[in-house]
Amino acid sequence: MNLVHQPPKTPGDDLEGLLRTFFRAQMPNPWPTAPTPPFRTPKAIQSVPSRRRLMRSRWALAASIGLLLLGSLLLPGRFAPRSKIEQGPDGPGVSDTKFLQDMNKEHQKKQLDAKSKAEREADKGDELPDPE
């Protein structure tokens, strides 16, 4: 722990105390009251919305919800790609059995090709060059 040693204060060295007394002398004592306006302002009267305005806003809300629903049903059909019905909207699905069979056949073919290539390379490595 660091201790800060301050030099002893002389009686006229209290700057903070001098500033406090100066500013307190400049402020009025007692503090003046807040000025009041010469006239009274009337309270704001809240108008009750008429029945017609309420019905109009409700009809506008119903119309906007209807347009949103109609747009959400019609708009996606405009951007969907043209595809066959049996394939679904985005092409063949993962649950399509023919699609899965084709994927399995292709995978097995790639495995056999890789295996035969590895065997051919191993056979080449076993052959010793003829010393001539």
Domain regions of the chain by residue span:
53-78
Q: Is the pLDDT assigned to residue 89 strictly greater than 70?
A: no
Query: % helix / strand / coil in the chain, to the nearest 5?
Result: 60, 0, 40
Instruction: Find out whether 89 and 83 touch, Cβ atoms under 8 Å.
Output: yes
Structure tokens at 35: 């000025």
pLDDT at res. 103: 82
Q: Please, which pLDDT band fits residue 26 given cuts at 50, 70 and 90? A: very high
Highest mean pLDDT among 60-64, 87-91, 107-111: 60-64
93's CB contacts (< 8 A; 6+ apart) are 87, 99
Highest mean pLDDT among 28-42, 78-92, 102-116: 102-116
Q: Is the pLDDT assigned to residue 88 strictly greater than 60?
A: no
Instruction: Find out whether 82 and 90 touch, Cβ atoms under 8 Å.
Output: no
Q: Is the pLDDT assigned to residue 86 strictly greater than 70?
A: no
